Structure 1
Amino acid sequence: MRKSLIATMSIAVMAATGLAACSSGPSSATNEKFITKDPASVVETGVKLPEQRDLEFKLDGSVSKAKVEIADAEIAEQVKGSKNLRIHPKKVGETTIKLTDPNGKEYQIPLEVVEGNN
């Protein structure tokens, strides 16, 4: 009886550990805090940004030389002090991001902040 109890408990612990490993970690889309985009790839389509996640742009060159203007500062804001160019949503709505990369190339990117984290 004692051996079967120990075996059952061992299986339960392994199952719980396995389930916990599957439900957490950076590979889960709902747990990632950032959506990363190349500015050139979203000029035409824009970006739908869940209000519980930030938007990061992949840029060639020094981010400190990049410039960002957000048409409606009530919808989103640039995160200062980030090592990447990051936009943080403030509330649901639509605006436009004008991004100038370190090489001087300008992008007009439509941004729609939507509810949730997906």
Structure 2
Amino acid sequence: MGFPRKFKELLEIELSDVDRPDEAWLTYAVCATEKDSCGWGGWMLEDIRKNADGNDPSLVLPAFCEQVCPRCGKETFRTGATLKFVPSSDQSGRLVPGVDYEELPIEYDEDEV
């Protein structure tokens, strides 16, 4: 079973095809806002920006930043533990295709009629 062919251009996006962020912010969040919260804690994406030298909100890149617990779906609380990440000039992958994982060609369903 393959992927829908209508999404071929989306599925084959490479780094050169998208806006690259200049910085990303992570915040440690916890699921502890309600009596029946699950107590999960972990890093969540706070913000991703291009040309990050200013505070222009139009330079925020699209990213999933919802304040939702991945375990139980309740609202999370963002703690004061926050880290800024700046992309390295070396963007080679940590994992090696064919060594650390199997790389298969993308297959598509037949065209929809």
Larger Rg: 1
User: Which structure has the highest strand share of the two?
Assistant: 1
**TM-score, L = length of structure 1:** 0.23
User: Which structure has the highest helix share of the two?
Assistant: 1
**TM-score, L = length of structure 2:** 0.23
